[in-house]
Amino acid sequence: MLDGCPSTYLITFWRCVMSTKDDALLKELTLEEYKYGFTTDIEMDIAPKGLTEDTVRLISAKKNEPEWLLEWRLKALQHFLKMDMPTWQNFENPDVDFQDISYYAAPKAKPKLNSLDEVDPELLSTFAKLGIPLDEQKVLAGVVAVDAVFDSVSVKTTFREKLKEQGVIFSSFGEAVQEHPELIRQYLGTVVPQTDNVYAALNSAVFSDGSFVYIPKGVRCPMELSTYFRINAENTGQFERTLIIADEGAYVSYLEGCTAPMRDENQMHAAVVELIALKDAEIKYSTVQNWYPGDKDGKGGIYNFVTKRGICKGDHSKISWTQVETGSAITWKYPGVILKGDHSVGEFYSVALTRNKQVADTGTKMIHLGKNTRSKIISKGISAGVSHNSYRGLVKIGPGADNSRNFTQCDSLLIGDRCGAHTFPYIESRNKTAKLEHEATTSKIGEDQLFYLTQRGIDPEKAVGLIVNGYAKEVLNQLPMEFAVEAQKLLAISLEGSVG
Amino acid sequence: MLSIKNLHASVEDKAILKGLDLEVKAGEVHAIMGPNGSGKSTLGNVLAGREAYEVTEGEVLLDGSDLLALSPEDRAREGVFLAFQYPIEIPGVSNINFLKTALSEIRAYKGLPPMEARDFLKKVKEKQQLVEFDAKLANRSLNEGFSGGEKKRNEIFQLAMLEPKLAILDETDSGLDIDALRIVARGVNQLRADNNAFILITHYQRLLEYIVPDFVHVLYNGRIVRSGTKELALELEEKGYDWIKETVDA
């Protein structure tokens, strides 16, 4: 053990996206709850608990950041300390002691890694168990570049070289700060300002790492970019920062999948994601979120308080959010789009599934500023157990947004009679030429639907899976093919035992 | 094949079936007629194992084994098929995917591997023609936005695909125009075989002109009060159910 390193940590992993298509494994998973049981010993480097200016300075120094970024962080911290916790949400805000969190955790490894050989073998074998195609062969066989984030530090980015040939930058946020400070400085905080909300301010002050993507003018990114986030060490908050820029005429599809281990105490995740689409550019951002939701009594589980926003900065640009949310004790986020460019398009497709005592308060914000801008919102909530699932969405039409249009459809599906579905649509229109449509439905998985399917010989659990996947189809269809398959399985598995 | 003895069943503590006896042999078609509220649909639901229907007395044997001990899905896998009076809509689930899942589950129960995709599609095509079911409907979401007649035809299409031992058609004729009725009847007639049996639950004699039953039973107040051949259906048509009611209640 190295000096100054706290004891070796036992780390249990929780897989979120099942990359395996192996049905035998799937069957095993469906039979047991949260038994992804394998552990690994990794030496961790953890900052002392607490949040002060010194904490921020430590993080910034650890990451060898330029002075302007430290100043930026410190400004955010000042905002954070002055801000109050929000009270408008449709659940009881958990009491988080911000001084009891460690704001930096990184695996102890060599400072600079050039090849897989240099990566901690323990870490590699863990990735192997998780089935992440880190080794080149596996990646070559697929079409996905995986930037595996272990705790807060990016360990290894595959395929970056190949992407580089086209001028695509896909790296950890920390590396981007070192290698492309001008881009970071130009865009950081331009979509989600430090003052946006209390968790965004916190993230801005203490973010540890995350992902950075830049697609140059006219380039269509040749592969799906994918990042697996996971939270591992005990009592370390996770503050990811993601910045994606699609220059004029560029296209990128990005998938974020998440894992977290089983823990007794709650863990908070307060990420910030900023997307910038310039003229004629398109960004497609997909999320499959399956963090530990807590046990049946609501003990443990992740607090997922995330700020995600994109700006369609140029004319004819497009940003599309797709999310499948099945995990976390509390999911609280509203991926939004600012439609600044004329003729720009914003889309939001969401499936949020809650069971047991889970809470989801999620939706989107579509801010129409440019002329002839269009937005589409498709939200599918699924509630089981005693969970609460809320859709909260804002459609705002600015005075200059002539002929802008929005279509919103938010559906709720209830399983059992002890759960809740809530809808909070907000509409603000300051332009008479705008057209807005809102449709909402609430339905229950009926005894008659279940009986119909079981009468044809289909197992009841499978029947629920079919019904739920049918219900969510419109959203799942937006996901890249291989992830759509996984998301379908995830939905079915998440509902195991919800019927009856 | 099917042997029902002294069957009593209730829904929400209200007794509906009150000592029903029925024997159905392989190769036979039985029609069950009766006035509203006599328990016709209850019989279908009890045989299929619907949760709200509670059997309070009696026994039902399918090929000698206790049918009532099985879950709804296992009854289906043993070959009991209920064509629903009001088929259910399931949005987003394609008809084909649903049938493939159902067929695979039934085959797995019998220890058979899933059908090869090619064989499955061949079978789909063949059965679609048999019941004149529009190929476009087969690819659409299960019953979603189907007309009443299309839903009923879909039931017969499913029947043709799953090839059950015992098919119970619960008022499949209701809501069908004469052309649709003819198509449905032709489908059923072609599916009749020595190794399967049909129970037709119906109000009207009309269906029996197209599907000629071996036996006709009149259900009244939870019991079969009269049995005969197809002539009984004609007599019933002529004299009405009051005739039955009077003779039974007298």
Contact residues on chain B for A473, CB-CB shorter than 8 A: 92
A487 touches chain B (CB under 8 A): no
Chain A residues touching residue B46 (CB < 8 angstroms)? none
- Confidence band for B246, pLDDT divided at 50, 70 and 90: confident
Candidates A287, A363, A365, A277; CA nearest to A327 is A287
Residue A220: DSSP 8-state:
B
Task: Tell which B residues from 106 to 145 touch A, by Cβ distance under 8 Å.
Answer: 106, 109, 141-142
Residue contacts between A and B (CB atoms, under 8 Å):
75
* Interface contact B72-A454, CB threshold 8 A: yes
Query: Which of B73, B88, B101 lies closest to A466 in CB terms?
Result: B101
d(CA A425, CA B197): 55
Q: DSSP letter at A236?
A: B
**Does the residue A194 lie in any domain?**
yes
Q: Which residue of B has its CA nearest to A459?
A: B73
Using only the alpha carbons of chain A, give its radius of gyration: 22
Which helix (H) or strand (E) covers residue A379, if one does? strand A374-383
Instruction: Mean pLDDT check: name the lowest of A279-288, A313-322, A415-424.
Output: A415-424
CA distances in angstroms from A341 to A275, A318, A367, B96, listed in the order given: 14, 9, 11, 43
Residue with the bigger pLDDT between A223 and B42: it is: B42
Count of Cβ atoms closer than 10 Å to residue A442 Cβ:
14
Find the mean pLDDT for residues B191-212: 91
List the single best residue of B73, B78, B97, B141 to mutate versus A (max A Cβ within 10 A).
B73
Angle between helix axes A198-206 and A67-82 (nearest 10 degrees) is: 150
Cα(B240)–Cα(B236) distance, rounded to whole angstroms? 5
- Written as one string, the DSSP assignment of A191-219 is SS-TTS-HHHHHHHHH--EEEEEEE-TT-
Higher pLDDT, A437 or A223: A437
In order of B86, B156, B176, the CA distances from B180 in angstroms are 16, 11, 6
The distance of B11 to chain A (nearest Cα, Å) reads 15
The helix (H) or strand (E) run that includes residue A4 is: none
**Residue B245 confidence (pLDDT):** 81
Q: Name the closest residue on chain A to residue B79, using Cα atoms.
A: A457
Q: Would you give the distance in Å from CA A417 to the centre of its chain?
A: 29
Give the count of beta carbons closer than 10 Å to the beta carbon of residue A147. Answer: 23
B250 Cα to chain A: minimum distance (Å) = 39
pLDDT in tens, A141-165: 233 444 444 443 443 445 666 778 8
Range(s) of the domain holding residue A229: 2-15+24-495
- Pick the closest to residue A122 from A144, A152, A155 (CA basis): A155
Closest alpha carbon to B39 in B18, B58, B56 = B18
Binary contact (A458, B102; C-beta < 8 A)? yes
Considering CB atoms only, which of A447, A458, A472 is closest to B73? A458
Query: Most A CBs within 10 Å: which of B70, B89, B105, B140, as the mutation test of the A interface?
Result: B105
Whether A500 is in a domain gets the answer no
Residues written for chain A: 500
Residue of A448, A454, A478 to mutate, testing the B interface (most B Cβ within 10 Å of its Cβ):
A454
d(CA B182, CA B131) in angstroms, rounded, equals 10
Tell whether B158 lies on the interface with A, counting CB pairs under 8 A. yes
Which of B60, B64, B50, B68 lies closest to B11, judged by CA?
B50
In angstroms, the CA A275 to CA A191 distance is 7
Q: Answer whether B152's CB lies under 8 Å from B175's CB.
A: yes
Nearest to A462 among B72, B101, B141 (CB): B101
- Contacts B145 to A, Cβ<8 Å: none
3-state helix, strand and coil shares in percent for chain A, rounded to the nearest 5: 25, 35, 40
Report CB contact under 8 Å: A455, B98: no
In a domain, A217, yes or no: yes
What are the backbone dihedrals phi and psi of residue B170, each rounded to the nearest 5 degrees, phi first? Answer: -90, 100
| Mean pLDDT value of segment A211-230 | 81
A344: in domain: yes
For residue A175, pLDDT over 80 is answered with: yes
CB contact under 8 A, A458 and B105: yes
CA-based nearest residue in chain A for residue B163: A456
Percent of chain A residues topping a pLDDT of 70: 74
Please report, as a single letter, which amino acid is at residue A430: R
Does A449 lie at the interface with B, CB-CB under 8 angstroms? yes
d(CA B99, CA B117): 12
**C-beta neighbour count of B86 within 10 angstroms:** 16
pLDDT tens-digit map of A261-305: 444 455 788 899 999 999 999 999 998 887 777 777 777 788 888
Chain B positions touching A456 (Cβ under 8 A) are 76, 81, 98, 102, 158, 162
List of chain A residues whose C-beta atoms are within 8 Å of the C-beta of residue B77 = 457
CA-angle at B135, arms to B130 and B137, nearest 5°: 110
DSSP code, position A116: G
For residue B128, pLDDT beyond 60:
yes
> Which of B95, B97, B101, B140 should we substitute to test contact with A (largest number of A Cβ atoms within 10 Å)?
B101
A452 Cβ under 8 Å from any chain B Cβ: yes
Q: What is the pLDDT of residue B205?
A: 83
Of chain B, the end-to-end C-alpha distance in Å amounts to 34
Give the C-alpha separation, A489 to A150, whole Å: 25
Cross-chain residue pair B81–A453, CB shorter than 8 Å = no
**pLDDT attached to residue A255:** 85
Q: Which of A446, A457, A470 has its CB closest to that of B92?
A: A470
Which region among A7-16, A160-169, B94-103 has the lowest average model confidence (pLDDT)? Answer: A7-16
B84 and chain A in contact, CB less than 8 A: yes
Best interface-test mutation with A: which of B88, B107, B158 has the largest number of A CBs within 10 A? B88
Helix (H) or strand (E) holding A437: strand A435-444
- The pLDDT score that the predictor gives to residue A488 is 79
A64 touches chain B (CB under 8 A): no
The reply to whether A419 touches chain B by the CB within 8 Å rule is: no
Residue B183 and residue A43: Cα distance in Å, rounded? Answer: 73
Amino acid making up residue A160? R
A264 in any annotated domain: yes
Model confidence band, residue A21 (pLDDT cutoffs 50, 70, 90) = very low
- Mean pLDDT for chain A overall: 77
Instruction: Write out pLDDT tens, residues A115-137.
Output: 556 555 654 554 554 444 444 33
Say if B77 is an interface residue toward chain A (CB within 8 Å): yes
Q: List Cα–Cα distances, A233 to A26, A39, A365, in angstroms.
A: 27, 12, 33
Q: Look at A466 and B141 and tell me if their CB atoms are within 8 Å.
A: no
Task: Give the mean model confidence (pLDDT) for residues B88-114.
Answer: 93
Which string of DSSP letters, residue by residue, matches B176-227?
--HHHHHHHHHHHHHH--TT-EEEEE-S-SHHHHHS--SEEEEEETTEEEEE
Q: How far is CA A222 from CA A227, A250, A322, B66, B174, in A?
A: 16, 11, 20, 61, 57
Q: Which two tokens stand for residue A382?
A: 């699924």
Sole residue written with tokens 């019998």:
B110
Does residue A205 belong to any structural domain of this protein?
Answer: yes
Rounded to a whole number of angstroms, the distance from the CA of A28 to the nearest CA of chain B is 18
Cβ neighbours of A446 in B, within 8 Å: 88
Q: Where are the beta strands (DSSP E) in A130-234?
A: 144-150, 153-157, 169-172, 209-215, 224-230
A354 Cα to chain B: minimum distance (Å) = 20
Using a CB-CB distance cutoff of 8 angstroms, which residues of chain A are in contact with residue B141? 470
Tell whether A330 is covered by a domain.
yes
The pLDDT score that the predictor gives to residue A396 is: 95
Quick one: pLDDT at residue B137?
Answer: 85
Of the two residues A267 and B64, the one the predictor is more confident about is B64
CB contact under 8 A, A457 and B158: no
B160 interaction partners in chain A (CB closer than 8 Å): none
* A469/B93 CB distance under 8 A: yes
Chain B touched by A441 (CB under 8 Å): no
What pLDDT sits at residue A333? 92
Is A467's CB within 8 Å of B72's CB? Answer: no
3-state secondary structure of A336: strand
Instruction: Specify the number of domains making up chain A.
Output: 1
Using CA atoms, how far residue A406 sits from A348, A392, A418, A436, A479, in Å, is 11, 15, 33, 5, 22
Tell me which long-range contacts A155-158 makes (C-beta under 8 A, separation of at least 24). Answer: A155/A107, A155/A109, A155/A113, A155/A119, A155/A123, A156/A113, A156/A116, A156/A119, A158/A134
User: Residue range A352-356: average pLDDT?
Assistant: 87
Contacts of B103 in chain A (CB under 8 A): 457
b/e per residue, A206-230, with b = 16+ CB within 10 A? bbbbbbbbbbbeebebebbbbbbbb
pLDDT for position A15: 24
> What whole-number distance in Å separates Cα of residue A450 and Cα of residue A467?
8
Residue of chain B nearest A465, judged by CA positions? B93
Q: Do B84 and A456 count as a contact with CB atoms less than 8 A apart?
A: no
- From A291's Cα to the closest Cα of chain B, the distance in A is 27
Residues on chain A touching B49 (C-beta within 8 angstroms): 455
- Residue A100 counted as domain residue: yes
